[in-house]
Amino acid sequence: MTTTEDSDSTRGRESKVARLIEEYELQGIGAELEALWTDDDPENRMSLRALADLFNKQLLQSAMERAGNQPLNGEVDNVYRLLNDESTSRADQTRTRRQLERDGLDVAALEEDFVSYQSIRTYLTKHRDADYDRSTNRTDSVSESIQRLQSRVQNVTGSKLRRLKNAGEISLGSFRVLVDIRIVCEDCGVQKDLTTLLDGGGCECG
């Protein structure tokens, strides 16, 4: 997913999320994000990554409505998936972007506004002073640590490949680096990607 980091992350300056809430007139979503992050019930609590997706979908829906569209039920989720899911083909992503542009959306500007989970964390902890007892649920910190490792692997791999390409040592067209971590439970046989496993509370053994 294309996101920009929260450059206004220091206390006393408006965070990116706070600015977008005002620009897109998303009244009430700040309190909703805080409630979902700090909920005492683990089944209702959402990870920072899930909250970032939720927020970005609200941006997308608002942008579509401002362009005069009335998204059908499930349409926003599907469009967001087509724009951001790494398993989506480049052709499908291109078709989705062109359709949105024909509908009057500035897709490049919208994707620039999409936020990362780091921006959500900055907004909740620094702008809203939110927190919860992480000793009861460590999945967020584990997920964030592994995502940072994935991002580093993607960046290093892409950099190395570009160097080889520029040096003429390999032939390679336009490319993307995908890092997919999947977990297979040898007891129940379930195979899930990391995010699905953590957000779903594990495999089927329980």
User: Do the beta carbons of residue 173 and residue 122 sit within 8 Å?
Assistant: no
Reported as a single tens digit per residue, the pLDDT across 50-93 is 999 999 999 999 999 999 998 999 999 999 999 998 888 989 99
Q: Is the pLDDT of residue 38 over 70?
A: yes
How many angstroms separate the first and last alpha carbons of the chain?
32
Residue, of 192 and 138, whose pLDDT is higher: 192
Reported as a single tens digit per residue, the pLDDT across 87-133 is 889 899 999 999 999 999 999 999 999 999 999 999 999 999 987 65
User: Do the beta carbons of residue 17 and residue 27 sit within 8 Å?
Assistant: no
d(CA 116, CA 184): 27
- pTM for the predicted model, two decimal places: 0.62
Q: Which residues pair with 191 in a beta bridge?
A: 184
d(CA 11, CA 126): 6
Q: Is the pLDDT of residue 20 over 80?
A: yes
d(CA 110, CA 125): 25
